[in-house]
Amino acid sequence: ISRWVKPREALELNLNEFSAKAIKSYLERFQQKDYLAGWKRCKADFENYQKKVTVLLNEAREKTAEDFALEIIPVLNNFDLALKHVPQSAAEEAWVEGIFYIQKQLAEILSKKGIHEIKALGEKFDPAFHECLEEIKTEDKANTGKVIKVMEKGYCQGDKVIKAAKVKIAR
């Protein structure tokens, strides 16, 4: 009686040498294809993992830079306030120049982290970038809706606003 059997089961039967070799060869090729398919899946999974890790690392770097900036920005704002109150007679003194230099260094550190100041003065008010503290009535209709005074600078990291500029606008 003849019946169909799976190749692995056929090896257990009493076969001639030629048939046994053919079945063993088939099983080896089948196993190799299975190994190759598994290896390809593993390779694809690893490549996807590498891409995901790269994305996560970039997000972590950006978040770290943002957190750092949010700690440094108040210091820069305090430098701005302090330098506005330096008497004109002391503007050329070495200590004042030192303060300017420190302020510049801090701004450069932020710049290296991809963080830049939002241009506000004279720009049309944009609630995505500016926070209006006050509207000031003006006779000049050309300035209506524009930023006429920056109270506190704002900053972006790439296209993302991390701190809106606090401004006064003309109405």
| Structure confidence by residue, pLDDT tens digits, 70-102 | 999 999 989 988 888 888 888 889 998 999 899
Alpha-carbon distance of 164 to 106, in angstroms, equals 19
Strands (E), 30-146: 115-117, 130-136
pLDDT-derived band at 2, boundaries 50, 70, 90? confident
Examine the pLDDT at 34 and tell me if it is beyond 90: no
Q: What is the reported pTM? A: 0.68
